[in-house]
Amino acid sequence: MKIPVHYGERIIDLNIPQENLCFNLHRNEFPSPESDAEEIRKAIQHPIGTKQLGEIVSKDASVVILVDDRTRVTPQKLIIPVILEELHKAGVKNEQIKLIIAYGTHRPMTEEEIEERFGRDLMNQVAICHHDCHTNLVVHGVTRRGTRIVVNKEVMEADFRIGVGGVLPHHPVGWSGGAKIFLPGVAGTETVNAMHLLGATEQQLGKILTPCREEMEDFATEVGLHFIVNVIQTDSGELLKAVAGHFIDAHREAVKWGMQIFGAKFSEKADITISSSYPSDHDFTQADKGLFSAELATKSGGDIILLSPCNEGIAPTHGEEIARLAGYDDKTLWKMLEDNVIKDRFGASECMYLNHIKRNFKASLTMDSVLTNIMGFHHLHINDVQKYLDTRISLDKKVKIGVLNYSSEVLPVQASEI
């Protein structure tokens, strides 16, 4: 069988005999709304777990709208104008509103990227601000786990806070969306790093209540996240469903829809899983989501081959420290954290996530060979993937090969577990 898969924007064809093909997973088919704007408007006007915006925001309130960055496909150009309509109906003027790009610890967007993502009309209407995880921060209490809540000062000073994001399966959080726009979105490095270390314990993908999720929701409860708008989209960014309302209640409803859309059933785990992480191809810390989704569909000790060019390397903002720490085992990393000799604690958590994969699978990367070796993975050039599959089949006629498309989004679900 000829199976087309993404390697970044490029499409390659894999030839896998039918008898060796274990699965070829995509998201489930789901009808699109007749009108994207109306779907968003309907969600905002019929919120879950809270009253309508016009009933809970004062006309004199200063409002911040927290939005995700270029690493996500959330259709901000569609969502923000509808939110502004509702705020204007409540008497809130554009001068009272700020849009804050919730980078977490990602790199800032360029002016061109901002215009492409939000549009010049929106840029001319309201102020657009950049979150910086290192500066302009305040401390506002602690979470139940004792983590200091370090948060963006402008967010903290606002009277009313709205979060806008997308809902997808996500490691180590379980599912994106909801309070995630707050933490790590507009938190300080100290809080972001503490949260990510909570995910270093076990596989969390597709779970609803995870240590990271609980930490995020503690953070949002303490600071005050008043309203969210979350969307579920196709691999190419096509809108399928929108929900709005309370950051916990609306998020849980979105996850129910997300399971229907992204929960891809399979019957048998593969010996080899080809995992294409497109469109999460900016850097390895985005693309590696495809390793954790592939884990769910691959036999212990089996092969995972991650198809992603990772054009920005390991990570624009964390790459140096991740590269430095990649060779250490978990015990050593925890000791280094205790001794305070790791300057980027997010890098330590990322290396622990990856150690879990390296312990349990033979994982190969198709990104730059030098970076692959630094990270401690096997390297396989994209042009040699077919040759590798052919060799494995020649050695074992019964070898089972699975293909996971858009693996940063699809959640493999074994039929026997349903």
Q: What is the CATH number of the domain that holds 70?
A: 3.40.50.11440
* 274 and 256 housed in the same domain: no
Q: What percent of the chain has pLDDT over 70?
A: 99
* Weakest mean pLDDT among 79-88, 120-129, 276-285, 319-328: 276-285
Residue 417: its pLDDT value, please? 66
Give the model confidence (pLDDT) of 40-69 as tens digits. Answer: 999 999 999 999 999 999 999 999 999 999
Q: Does residue 158 lie in a domain region?
A: yes
The CATH code of the domain that includes 311 is: 3.90.226.30
**CA dist 211 → 172, 216, 410 (Å):** 9, 9, 22
299: left (phi over 0), alpha (psi -120 to 50) or beta: beta
- What is the arithmetic mean of pLDDT over 207-226? 94
Q: How many domains does the chain have?
A: 2
* 410 and 274 housed in the same domain: yes
174: domain range? Answer: 36-261
Give the model confidence (pLDDT) of 368-405 as tens digits. Answer: 999 999 999 999 999 999 999 999 999 999 999 999 99
**pLDDT at residue 344 tops 90:** no
**pLDDT at residue 318 tops 90:** no
* 247 and 281 housed in the same domain: no
Q: How far is CA 83 from the centre of its chain?
A: 23
Q: Does residue 31 lie in a domain region?
A: no
CA distance 227 to 197: 27
Task: Name the domain boundary from 221, 245, 261.
Answer: 261
CA distance 406 to 319: 23
Q: Does residue 316 lie in a domain region?
A: yes
Residue 66: its pLDDT value, please? 98
Task: Name the domain boundary from 261, 289, 304.
Answer: 261
* 249 and 312 housed in the same domain: no
* 371 and 275 housed in the same domain: yes
Give the model confidence (pLDDT) of 138-179 as tens digits. Answer: 999 999 989 999 999 999 999 999 999 999 999 889 999 999
Residue 234: its pLDDT value, please? 82
Q: Are strands 239-245 and 227-233 parallel, antiparallel or unpaired?
A: antiparallel
**CA dist 368 → 79, 329, 378 (Å):** 37, 23, 11
pLDDT band at 263 (very low <50, low <70, confident <90, very high): very high
Give which of 196, 99, 117, 211 is closest to 155, Cα–Cα: 99
Task: Name the domain boundary from 261, 290, 322.
Answer: 261
Report yes or no on whether pTM surpasses 0.75.
Answer: yes
* 96 and 236 housed in the same domain: yes
Give the model confidence (pLDDT) of 283-296 as tens digits. Answer: 999 899 999 999 99
Residue 157: its pLDDT value, please? 97
CA distance 60 to 304: 54
CA distance 87 to 13: 49
pLDDT band at 329 (very low <50, low <70, confident <90, very high): very high
Give the model confidence (pLDDT) of 109-143 as tens digits. Answer: 999 999 999 999 999 999 999 999 999 999 999 99
Strand partners, 365: 306, 379
* 166 and 310 housed in the same domain: no
Q: Mean pLDDT, the chain, as a whole number?
A: 95
